[in-house]
Copies of this chain bind each other. A is one copy, B any other.
Amino acid sequence: MKSKLYLYLSLFTLLFLLSSCAVPIKSDPLPSWNDGATKQSIIKFVSEVTNRSNPNYVSSDERIAVFDNDGTLWTEQPIYFQIMFVIDRVKEMAKDHPEWKEQQPYKAVLENDMKTLFSSEEWISELFIVTHTGMSTTRFYEIGHKWLKKAKHPKFNRPLTDLVFQPMLELMKYLKQNGFRTYIVSGGGQTFIRLFAEQIYGIPPEQIIGTLFETGYKVVEGTPEIYRLPKVFLFNDKGTKAVAIEKFIGIVPTMAFGNSDGDLQMLQYTQSGKGKRFMALVHHSDSTREYAYDRDSHIGRLDKAWDKAIDNNWTLIDMKKDWKVIYPFELDR
Contacts and interface: CB of A to CB of B under 8 A. Distances in A.
A215 to B, nearest CB: 5
A272 to B, nearest CB: 5
A251 B206 contact: yes
Contact of A181 (B194, B206, B238, B248): B206
B190 A215 contact: no
Contacts of A287: none
A242 B217 contact: yes
A292 interface: no
Contacts of A34: none
A181 B181 CA distance: 13
Contacts of A13: 10, 13-14, 17
Nearest to A5: B6
A265 interface: yes
Interface string A1-19: 0110011011001101100
Contacts of A205: 249-251
Nearest to A191: B250
Contacts of A212: 247
A269 interface: yes
Interface in A40-64: 61
B206 A250 contact: yes
A226 B204 contact: no
A246 interface: yes
A94 B224 CA distance: 46
Interface residues of A, number: 46
A240 B205 CA distance: 19
A245 to B, nearest CB: 9
A67 B224 CA distance: 19
Interface string A78-100: 00000000000000000000000
Contact of A224 (B190, B219, B223, B272): B272
Contacts of A206: 181, 248-251
Contact of A204 (B6, B61, B238, B242): B61
A237 B68 CA distance: 31
A325 interface: no
Contact of A216 (B225, B243, B249, B250): B243
B248 A224 contact: no
Contact of A269 (B20, B181, B217, B243): B217
Contacts of A225: 272
Contact of A17 (B6, B17, B224, B239): B17
A208 interface: yes
B137 A246 contact: yes
Nearest to A240: B217
Given A13-B17, A217-B239, 10 more contacts: A2-B3, A6-B10, A190-B250, A205-B250, A205-B251, A212-B247, A215-B246, A217-B242, A217-B265, A224-B265
